[in-house]
Amino acid sequence: MKKIIIFGSIVVLIFVALIVVSNINQAQKAAGNPFGKDRLHPATIELIDDPNYQNVILPDELEKKLVDEEAVTVYFYSSDCPYCKEATPRLVPLAEENGINLVQYNLREFEEGWDQYNLDSTPTIIHFENGAEEGRIVSAVPDEEFQQFFDEYVLSE
């Protein structure tokens, strides 16, 4: 019986040690992240150094832009969304080619954005003018449709 208790204690200690090491590892990866959070979803951690995901906007920053009635084009994505991962490498360079400051709002980290901006799926791009939604495009559409959206809502200013 003693052997079972000792063996069980060792197994529990190993699991506790693994949990502690895992938490420390995640905290180190999340340190200094642009999201201003201590803990990040693992899919977000994977994208931290990806050059296509560097123009992050935080919820408070976006809200301030809308209150100040600034024109802003927002790419709402989720770091674990396969459609976003397919669209982003096409979309970000296209926005840059057009001189568009496409800010990126991560819905995996800031889930309140789903309700606040009436979102049903990702990826979604919304262009705001004077604090109000001017236009939106949903899904990983072909590049031509992204360009049409930019031409109609963003570049026509």
Task: Identify the domain containing residue 98 by its residue range.
Answer: 50-154
Is there a single domain that holds both residue 29 and residue 91?
no
Is there a single domain that holds both residue 81 and residue 147?
yes
Reported confidence tier of residue 8, pLDDT bands at 50, 70, 90: confident
∠ CA 33-125-81 to the nearest 5 degrees? 60
Q: Taking the model in full, what pTM does it have?
A: 0.81
List, for residues 85-100, the tens digit of each pLDDT value.
999 999 999 999 999 9
Is there a single domain that holds both residue 64 and residue 14?
no
State residue 126 phi and psi, 5-degree precision: -125, 135
CATH code at 67?
Answer: 3.40.30.10
Is there a single domain that holds both residue 112 and residue 136?
yes
β partners of residue 127? 73, 135
Is there a single domain that holds both residue 39 and residue 86?
no
Is there a single domain that holds both residue 54 and residue 26?
no
Is there a single domain that holds both residue 12 and residue 75?
no
Is there a single domain that holds both residue 36 and residue 88?
no
CB 58 within 8 A of CB 110: yes
Is there a single domain that holds both residue 70 and residue 143?
yes
Is there a single domain that holds both residue 82 and residue 40?
no
Q: What is the DSSP letter of 155?
A: T
Q: Where are the alpha helices (DSSP H) in the chain?
A: 2-30, 42-47, 59-67, 82-97, 112-116, 143-149
CB 120 within 8 A of CB 139: no
List, for residues 27-73, the tens digit of each pLDDT value.
555 556 778 887 888 899 899 889 999 999 999 999 999 999 999 99
